[in-house]
Structure 1
Amino acid sequence: MDSITFRFNDLPTELALLILRYAAQTTFDQAEKYDKVNCPYSSVLTLCLVSKNFRRAVLPALLHTVLLPKPRNVRVFVQALLTQEAYKQASSDLHFDYAPHVHKMWIGLDGGNLTSADLLADPREYALQPSERPLAINLLTPVMLAASSLALGWTSVDLLIECLEHAWESRPATPVNEEHPRLPWNTETLTLSCGDPINRTKWKCLTDTPQGSAFLASISHLLSPTYLCRDNPLQVYRLPEWMKTAPLASFKSLQTVILPYPCTTPPINLRALVTTGVDMQMHLLTLPATLLKDPNNGIPKAIKVFDDIIGPGEEATRSDGTRLQVSEVLWCSRSGWEKVWAWML
């Protein structure tokens, strides 16, 4: 019997695109160890090299969730935006508008350091010249603020402040028939990675500017990768320290707060556990923002979690009527929070 040769090109275009987009998806598997060779984007990056048509078909999958955990990752991403701008100016077929396809973005600590801190750094680190920063902010702003879910290390908030200022100054005039101006961002879920209390002066860079206060007021979900710490065996957990300085009253649209806590009491100090990068089982506790905000802007020092009542993936109502929800069990390590965030939220 003669063998039948079937080529990918023989498929209907719609079916071929479905296959490509499925192959390009990333699961952000928490159990998988990522490196330069085996990264969450390895499949889609390989497909981008096949042809221009393949590249255009799978780039939305690459851009859906953008993880930039280190400053060099941010610099490389900004260099990609500069390249796209050059393609645009040259009317190249390789030009691709990133902003409409970015839904989630994670920027780790010191993400605003677009220039290299090491004068002897390898040029492959893609450090930018200081003169390039205004153009970089101009190109990064619509992409970063297109994300409905934005995660930031606290030392990268300066980058957010710059982008908010640029977006606010560049926003189009409000049409006469519109009562409220359109906000130049899509962000609804904000994740702040903070360990220690946050300097109030830095908060003022957001609360004391029209764009910063409007941004905070538009956030509906707030997440902290900083763990709740257990005070005693009765499931009472201390809230993250940074929340004691957070102006929660400025989050006028805030509906829910999501906080992680260990499933069991860790054998050593949580800070030491995170530093060593040891994996541990975690839950994500979702609670209403009203539990953390009161008319006097006070913040409770601790919160009661009913592990014996709330099972993984379940909800329960406290005696005061507050509804709490606990996620399924997650595995988390020092370098794994961005994968938990990308997978769960």
Structure 2
Amino acid sequence: MKYPIRSRTGNLPMELLIPILKDAAQLTFSPGGDRVDKDFYSTAVSLCRVSRLFRCIILPEMLRTVFLRDHGVIKFANALLMQKAYAEKESDLFFDYTSAIQRMWISNYRTSLSAGLSELKLNMTILHPVILAVPVLALDSGHFQLLAQTVEDAWTSHEDLNIDHEYCPFPGKIQNLAVMSSCGSWAPFHYDQKKKIPNFLASIPRLTCLPDLEVTSDVFRDISRGLISPESSLLYWMENFPWAEMTSLQTFSVVYPHLGPPFSMRSYIDPTRGLDLHVERLNVSAPLYRQDPRSFPWGTPPFSVTNPGEKNIRTDGLSFEVTRKQTHFCRLFFSWETAWACGLTDDEGYKED
């Protein structure tokens, strides 16, 4: 189908128009910002309204990274239902969101819950096939538990009785799952142990914990300065871990700000100021830890300080890495979304130029 775009773009050839539109619709995130801009979709949305051709070019770029905050889950579920209606009508407006989304962030569970638990569950049921197809996923512990429950309900109610649910892997594509702790609590895996969900977790190779800085900053500061072993802080997140379910897990990680000297505690705790800091990542080899947790080689403190852009392997199965880039941190009311959007919490974040 040909679209009348000459009146809007003059005689600009398509080979120039397409990269211009893609660049204009690109969602850019600044590592130095203290929060991801809520209006970063505005330019892309405005361009989508110009013509159907613009929409076809821009949507894949706009949906590459999706942020669902506050009531975003409900709004995104409505958008998926709208696309389903377009598909049924064979409308030119239909677009497959699942094929475009590469990264998804879901947070602010308490705000989402204000619409009612039953409505939130319904919307998560609509979303979960899309969520499980996203390679890089981050969500808070409340949304994680709700996702786990909706996946379990969908799996147990599967109509094909010939499928062996115990051994058939759930069709998920998540490669990197990050879970945010909330108010110092780390309980994303405290779901009903009577309802096992091995098919949801079994294929995930990398799991990252994004901790609450208000509660844990003092411990991380001592680790960053090479004063204490990371064993106690890592075991806090690992003790309730569903190792039996996550059979494909290769790396368990905890990320936190690199609080090495020089360091201004006054700026760090001041919500109006904050600090631009590097991100440090502790990585544990899941296969080695799983073999014998009691004799896992945590190493002996003190550790030497890891500098920005470096990766150090202290013992077999335990490594540290620090990003070259910085992002804005504040001990109080901090959200990981900017660091995550910039890739600073990912496995390869420290390699970025």
After TM superposition, the score normalised by the length of structure 1 is 0.74
- In structure 1, the residue corresponding to 2:91 is in which secondary structure? coil
Confirm or deny: 8 A CA contact 1:217 1:253 kept in the other structure: yes
After superposition, the CA RMSD in angstroms is 4.0
Confirm or deny: 8 A CA contact 1:99 1:143 kept in the other structure: yes
Once the two structures are TM-superposed, the CA of residue 155 in structure 1 deviates from its matched residue by 1.4
The worse-fitting range, judged by mean Cα deviation, of 216-225 and 147-156 is 216-225
Confirm or deny: 8 A CA contact 2:27 2:40 kept in the other structure: yes
Alignment of 1:282-301 (within 5 A): 282-290=278-286, 293-297=289-293
- In structure 2, the residue corresponding to 1:251 is in which secondary structure? coil
Confirm or deny: 8 A CA contact 2:60 2:100 kept in the other structure: yes
Once the two structures are TM-superposed, the CA of residue 156 in structure 1 deviates from its matched residue by 1.3
Q: Aligned pair in 2 of structure 1 residues 194, 15: CA closer, same or farther (>3 Å)?
A: same
Aligned to 2:61: 61
Confirm or deny: 8 A CA contact 2:44 2:62 kept in the other structure: yes
Match of 2:179 among 172, 182, 192: 192
Confirm or deny: 8 A CA contact 2:133 2:174 kept in the other structure: yes
Match of 1:220 among 191, 198, 205: 205
Amino acid in structure 1 at the alignment position of 2:210: P
Once the two structures are TM-superposed, the CA of residue 157 in structure 1 deviates from its matched residue by 1.6
Amino acid in structure 2 at the alignment position of 1:102: I
Aligned to 2:310: 314
Once the two structures are TM-superposed, the CA of residue 261 in structure 1 deviates from its matched residue by 3.6
The worse-fitting range, judged by mean Cα deviation, of 160-169 and 289-298 is 289-298
Aligned to 1:43: 43
Once the two structures are TM-superposed, the CA of residue 58 in structure 1 deviates from its matched residue by 0.6
- How far apart are the structure 2 equivalents of 1:300 and 1:230? 22
Q: Aligned pair in 2 of structure 1 residues 93, 112: CA closer, same or farther (>3 Å)?
A: farther
Confirm or deny: 8 A CA contact 2:251 2:284 kept in the other structure: yes
- In structure 1, the residue corresponding to 2:27 is in which secondary structure? coil
Once the two structures are TM-superposed, the CA of residue 337 in structure 1 deviates from its matched residue by 1.4
Confirm whether residue 105 of structure 1 aligns to residue 104 of structure 2.
yes
The worse-fitting range, judged by mean Cα deviation, of 99-108 and 160-169 is 160-169
- How far apart are the structure 2 equivalents of 1:181 and 1:6? 54
Aligned to 1:229: 220
Aligned to 2:145: 158
Q: Aligned pair in 2 of structure 1 residues 161, 302: CA closer, same or farther (>3 Å)?
A: farther
- How far apart are the structure 2 equivalents of 1:249 and 1:147? 23
Listed one character per residue, the Cα deviations across residues 257-296 of structure 1 (whole Å, up to 9, x for unaligned) are 33224332665599x9397783441323252424982445
Report the identity percentage. 29
Confirm or deny: 8 A CA contact 2:67 2:104 kept in the other structure: yes
Amino acid in structure 2 at the alignment position of 1:95: F
Q: Aligned pair in 2 of structure 1 residues 28, 288: CA closer, same or farther (>3 Å)?
A: same
- How far apart are the structure 2 equivalents of 1:74 and 1:305? 44
Match of 1:253 among 248, 251, 266: 248
Amino acid in structure 2 at the alignment position of 1:239: S
Aligned to 1:123: none
- How far apart are the structure 2 equivalents of 1:311 and 1:327? 9
Q: Aligned pair in 2 of structure 1 residues 301, 267: CA closer, same or farther (>3 Å)?
A: farther
Listed one character per residue, the Cα deviations across residues 284-331 of structure 1 (whole Å, up to 9, x for unaligned) are 3252424982445458999868554x3322223325575443222422
Listed one character per residue, the Cα deviations across residues 175-212 of structure 1 (whole Å, up to 9, x for unaligned) are 99xxx745321111110111535458x5344x6545x2
Gaps in structure 1 of 5+ consecutive residues: 118-127
- How far apart are the structure 2 equivalents of 1:51 and 1:183? 39
Listed one character per residue, the Cα deviations across residues 84-137 of structure 1 (whole Å, up to 9, x for unaligned) are 2333344332222211111111111317946626xxxxxxxxxx9x5x667634
Once the two structures are TM-superposed, the CA of residue 77 in structure 1 deviates from its matched residue by 1.7
Match of 1:244 among 239, 245, 253: 239
Aligned to 2:21: 20
Confirm or deny: 8 A CA contact 2:299 2:315 kept in the other structure: no
- How far apart are the structure 1 equivalents of 2:302 and 2:194? 35
Once the two structures are TM-superposed, the CA of residue 73 in structure 1 deviates from its matched residue by 2.0
Alignment of 1:49-88 (within 5 A): 49-70=49-70, 72-88=71-87
- In structure 1, the residue corresponding to 2:50 is in which secondary structure? coil
Amino acid in structure 1 at the alignment position of 2:221: R
Aligned to 2:93: 94
- How far apart are the structure 1 equivalents of 2:326 and 2:272? 18
